[in-house]
Amino acid sequence: MTHPEPAGRFPFSAIVAQEQMKQALLLNAANPAVGGVLIRGNKGTAKSTAVRSLTTLLPPIEVVAGCPYSCNPGTEIDQCIHCIADPDGEVVQRPVRIVDLPVSASEDRLVGSLDIERAIQSGQQAFEPGILAAAHRGILYIDEVNLLSDHLVDLLLDAAAMGRNYVERDGLSVTHPASFILVGTMNPEEGELRPQLLDRFGLMVEAESDFSRDDRIEVVRRRVGFEADPAGFAEAWEPRQQELRGRLAEAQALLPRVEVPDAIMEAVAAICEDHGVDGLRADITIYRAASTIAAWNQRQRVELDDVRDAARLALVHRQRRQPFQEPQLDQQRLDETLEQLGNTTRERDPHPPRAGDRTEPEDDPGNQPPPPEEGGQQPPTDEGATEDSDLGSEDAPDQAPAPIGASPPVRVPESRRRRDRRSRTAAGRSAATLTDTRAGRHVSSRPASEAPTDVDLVATLRTAAPKRLARARARTPSLEPSDLQEKVRETTTARLVVFVVDASGSMGARQRMEATKGAILSLLVDAYQQRDRVALITFRGDHADLVLPPTNSVERAHRELAHLATGGRTPLGSGLTRAHELIEAERRRDAGLATLLIVVTDGRANSGATTGSPRDAVHAAAGALALVADDALVIDTESGFVRLGEAQALADLLEGECVTLGEPTAQSLEASVRAMRSR
């Protein structure tokens, strides 16, 4: 049976390379119990294209006509109220849906809400299904899943765990099936994913970003061919699409008969134990994925090679990691474990696999393009300075830092001065606060303003309900402007911590940079929980550089901070000016942004002024910066017997605090920042 391609949908089999990503998606298509897939990778690597193209392979599903939840008519346990009320409803076929969950969606849109139109017309309370209902028996796709709001993540976790959506709101009590393949894509440079949601993805893959020249040429050729003639392009690839559909159907039919020997079960447990994964979800996922791989390869018995392939996809995001370690699997360790287990299995297994068990090649699907037709198109995809030991001179050469080392903890002295800014967000603190925007969790309602943008229709109807009869008698409108209610939302205050660090050739510059790197990376470890971002500006020579743009990604910070040059003169004013420009730019994007400025310096300046003296430049820049930074902390690195107190003077100009650390360490810097943030 031929399945027409969805309009404008790129054929799955035409995607170039990305074999691991395609394998993970096909395993979920063959067996949704695998648990979905998270695809990490840089932009332009065909992540979204591959996910959307998967629906071109899936066969239509049977649903009850008119059912808003796409109930399966062949099962009684999966019935909703609509299907129970009409048990003899017509059964129809429709394509499998891929439903997008925008990161800006509201919780009403996700879980469903009161049907306002019906409530106004008839006065009856009825449920209007949301995205979770539409995604049942389909694919729920979240692009940029790491940017999804926390309150939506909580709701999504509940539905994913139970396979049902429970709604208790607006006077409604509704439950309906919500079983779907969860697929997420993300760019790790834009931040990490909450561990609770990360663990909900059965598999995780890294999208390939290093393409050969031939692959690049083929990607462009196929993409251009598709855009020029989508229908003709899809027709050219239809034989390969049909081949994949047939293999997918065979794997689904064979899967219930696949055997998993006890020796394989022991191997799965040993691998998970050896790799130190938390919980048992990894064991279950590897079991299901290995069984599916065997079925895909037309075998009724799981082998160790199937376990190896499954472990590569299921373990990467579940291993315990060090704070700055990128997610990766120790392939050599996995191979050694499987080799040891293989020797034991061969000694104990009375029924080793036979040569005839495999009837299909193990080559990954989607790899070989069909031969181009004569006169047709070839079917397409989306998709520091030199090391120097002398740092004592202002004109010392640039320095490349040594690797971050452990530093002994230093007790942070009490700050000399505290600032009270009750008119702004307190100390850049990240906390649940009320917001006037449409983002955040809906917590209550209030009378609407003159031009409401986030009307609470349920609260509005409740306000107008007692007046309905009187207005009907007076023949006045059922709803008046005075009845309007708007939603009050609560959100976590975004926070930006800006480090401005002296990277000049003064004594101890390398140590300062290493301490700053360590502090930044440590602060980013829990950034996914606080929604904090960190930026780094360094100043040296005659200018300042934005070394690390605002980010909450440990991986990006680790990469950008790998090489921080030091040396040259001290343009402190330029560093403060650059911080002012950065904070103003971020505030234009997010007016509610809270900022914390950390300046690591001895307060001295000897360059960077375009007019006047360097000291005058510092005074002007600090005065302007004090108007935009919510809080400021100056880490005084001055050492020696003669102390000029320039850092304290700078803190006074910034209306901030000053902490004297001499030569700071990563631990002491981090402690100072955390102490300031907690106030």
The catalytic residue positions are 281
Q: Where are the alpha helices (DSSP H) in 116-201?
A: 116-122, 131-134, 150-162, 195-198
Q: Which residue has the tokens 């300031």?
A: 676
Cα separation of 616 and 623, whole Å? 11
Our measurement of the distance from residue 468's CA atom to the centroid of its chain's CA atoms, rounded to an integer in Å, reads: 47
Residue 399 buriedness (CB in 10 A; 0-12 / 13-18 / 19+): buried
User: Angle, nearest 10°, between helix axes 230-254 and 19-30?
Assistant: 60
Our measurement of the distance from residue 305's CA atom to the centroid of its chain's CA atoms, rounded to an integer in Å, reads: 31
Amino acid, single-letter form, for residue 128? E
Structure tokens at 328: 């990766």
Under DSSP, is residue 259 helix (H, G, I), strand (E, B) or coil?
A: strand
Long-range contacts, stretch 366-373, CB < 8 angstroms, 24+ apart: 366/12, 366/13, 366/15, 366/19, 366/22, 366/26, 366/240, 366/244, 367/19, 368/240, 369/13, 369/14, 369/237, 369/240, 370/236, 370/237, 370/239, 370/240, 372/236, 373/236
368 to 29, 246, 365, 377: CA distances (angstroms): 20, 16, 8, 15
Structure tokens at 139: 């694919």
> CB of 628 within 8 A of CB of 583?
yes
Our measurement of the distance from residue 41's CA atom to the centroid of its chain's CA atoms, rounded to an integer in Å, reads: 11
DSSP state for residue 662 in the 8-state scheme: S
> CB of 567 within 8 A of CB of 398?
yes
Dihedral, CA of residue 559, residue 561, residue 565 and residue 566, to nearest 10: -170
Our measurement of the distance from residue 199's CA atom to the centroid of its chain's CA atoms, rounded to an integer in Å, reads: 13
Largest CA distance in the chain: 92
Give the number of residues written for the chain: 679
Q: CB 83: neighbour CB atoms within 10 A?
A: 19
> CB of 656 within 8 A of CB of 419?
yes
> CB of 38 within 8 A of CB of 184?
yes
Beta bridge partners of 177: 164
| Cβ neighbours of residue 302 closer than 8 Å, sequence gap 6 or more | 258, 259, 260, 261, 264, 290, 291, 293, 294
Sign of the torsion formed by the C-alpha atoms of 182, 6, 104 and 134: negative
Q: Which residue has the tokens 């590569």?
A: 312
Transcribe 545-568 into DSSP letters: EEEEEEE--HHHHHHHTS---B-S
Cα separation of 85 and 89, whole Å? 9
Cα separation of 607 and 604, whole Å? 10
Beta bridge partners of 495: 532, 594
Cα separation of 241 and 365, whole Å? 10
Q: CB 171: neighbour CB atoms within 10 A?
A: 10
